[in-house]
Structure 1
């Protein structure tokens, strides 16, 4: 059963799941994501979102183990484990989550480390996946530009996933982490009618303290910022070079969360959640979007396409184009 309130089509209930991964364990993390998605459905959510690269986890080891050292056996061993745990959509790794979305009538945004076969199957992409209420994958957005040390283990994506999706009265779109700082990436979603913006992060309140408010005021949209959480003590015993990654620490935070929800008027609906696993739920009202668009609509009455336009290439990039002879 869908949770959309039939008596008021403007209302949408959203869930923001700030959770830790079962780090570098794809199947266990996807099972945990499914559990929280089910909890969100139990609470009447139409949409639930999860943090960046949550399955199987963010590469926290890079800045703790001299990750830029070239030809390092340590880096190769950790990376090989990361690659082994990558999410392969073509293999069906997300099929159980899609089935849950269909069965429970809930849409899902989830951050994964994708190991795609269309790029040879041996590179990882930081990917944001949208699954609709019918259990269909609507978009697979590979992060356009990995940030700083992320480039040591993630490949650069393309524009194929810069798409929006209808959800009740809303139109949802999403970006990964620091892509949310990219004006043209944001503008590409605004121009496709986005009025509920989803941003996913590995976790860090410094990232979500100011940016959601800026995006909300720029776009006159709701902004869901969903973060991961990672504690030193959550590093599993079987992770390669665990002692080196942990250093002298046995407790503490590698990522402190910061999940929040901002209204189109720049006011908090859910203030940043720090240091705890939690499923936060709120009901948002599309009438707020229409109110705020009265004096500013960046892709509508406050745009000048005769002067400035944005061109987006949504071709899925590949090193191979096969042209078979006609039979």
Structure 2
């Protein structure tokens, strides 16, 4: 005799959307419009959560490895830094107010990768940040990338643990990390310990980056949404500073980043296969009952943990250079 058990219900389900889009490179306002259009598209598909790639707003710093970015006191690097800062997102200025309003109007949560120019760090350094906006249109967290990767350190500042937080969304608790932070076991553990069962991973683009997604899903016994950016030669505005030099060596290749966004279930199987080489908004319905089933034999911070032997301390205070007492 076989026994069939259906422990799922409508309240367990969440409709989620991958938004793989290319920026209008280093043009904040034009890229904001593309982000807004993708949100509208997802709303038409009844999405309750949408995610975008790393620093899609206003774009990834592709120039560094292509213009001798480590050359000290170089006029080109200074000019590009200033141009990047000019197009960065200043949350305190209200740059995301329109996106927050869309989230509220559609009842949709949003993970958005931005290049952030925060006032609380003086306003002239930038951070690779992942912003979570909840379904009420309220910014729930701004996670500044803990350690920029390789040449990224020449333009992005190291962040802090303030954004290592999860958020309630329907039956799920959602959390996220930027790019190679997803390779950091302790950063992942911090989110697991905060109850994460839906993990959002953002990447600048390239399907090899999202190859880790099935592993993350099986380790966390969580859904994993990996969203990458896309970057084509045609996405560079004609007035981009030093454009010829940036594109030199690209040959006839169309892409600098070819996407790879995907959605993986807690057992490591694909819900949405990697999307390569195209802009797309793709939706799927996920079911929290699958999380509960997969946690039966492994729960990384529950029954399969030993906090008496291994324990993690997480400092979630926002780092600042000064504390003013008036």
- TM-score when normalising by structure 1: 0.96
Q: Are residue 180 (structure 1) and residue 190 (structure 2) matched? A: no
Checking the alignment, whether the CA contact within 8 Å between 1:232 and 1:250 is kept in structure 2 is: no
2:136 corresponding residue in structure 1: 134
Q: Distance in 2 between matches of 1:296 and 1:151?
A: 36
1:8 corresponding residue in structure 2: 10
1:30 corresponding residue in structure 2: 32
CA shift, 1:247, in A, is: 1.2
Q: Distance in 1 between matches of 2:253 and 2:31?
A: 21
2:155 corresponding residue in structure 1: 153
CA shift, 1:266, in A, is: 0.7
| Superposed counterparts of 1:202-281, under 5 Å | 202-209=204-211, 211-247=212-248, 249=251, 251-281=253-283
When the two structures are aligned, how many residues end up with a matched partner?
317
Q: Distance in 2 between matches of 1:299 and 1:255?
A: 35
Checking the alignment, whether the CA contact within 8 Å between 1:233 and 1:251 is kept in structure 2 is: no
Gaps spanning 5+ residues in structure 2: where? 1-8
Q: Distance in 1 between matches of 2:57 and 2:83?
A: 13
Q: Distance in 1 between matches of 2:128 and 2:41?
A: 25
Q: Distance in 1 between matches of 2:234 and 2:16?
A: 30
Checking the alignment, whether the CA contact within 8 Å between 1:233 and 1:250 is kept in structure 2 is: no
CA shift, 1:38, in A, is: 1.2
CA shift, 1:250, in A, is: 6.0
1:197 corresponding residue in structure 2: 199
Q: Distance in 1 between matches of 2:301 and 2:323?
A: 35
CA shift, 1:233, in A, is: 2.0
What is the root-mean-square deviation in Å for CA atoms of aligned residues? 0.9
Q: Distance in 2 between matches of 1:245 and 1:135?
A: 37
Q: Distance in 2 between matches of 1:47 and 1:311?
A: 30
1:115 aligns with one of 114, 117, 137: 117
Q: Distance in 1 between matches of 2:106 and 2:164?
A: 26
CA shift, 1:251, in A, is: 5.0
Q: Distance in 2 between matches of 1:25 and 1:179?
A: 26
| Superposed counterparts of 1:309-324, under 5 Å | 309-324=311-326
Q: Distance in 2 between matches of 1:242 and 1:78?
A: 11
2:106 corresponding residue in structure 1: 104
Q: Are residue 301 (structure 1) and residue 303 (structure 2) matched? A: yes
Tell me the SS of whatever aligns to 2:53: coil
Checking the alignment, whether the CA contact within 8 Å between 1:205 and 1:256 is kept in structure 2 is: yes
Q: Distance in 1 between matches of 2:253 and 2:312?
A: 47
Q: Distance in 1 between matches of 2:253 and 2:153?
A: 27
Tell me the SS of whatever aligns to 2:11: coil
Q: Which moved more, 1:250-259 or 1:111-120?
A: 250-259
CA shift, 1:23, in A, is: 0.3
CA shift, 1:263, in A, is: 0.4
Gaps spanning 5+ residues in structure 1: where? 1-6
CA shift, 1:75, in A, is: 1.0
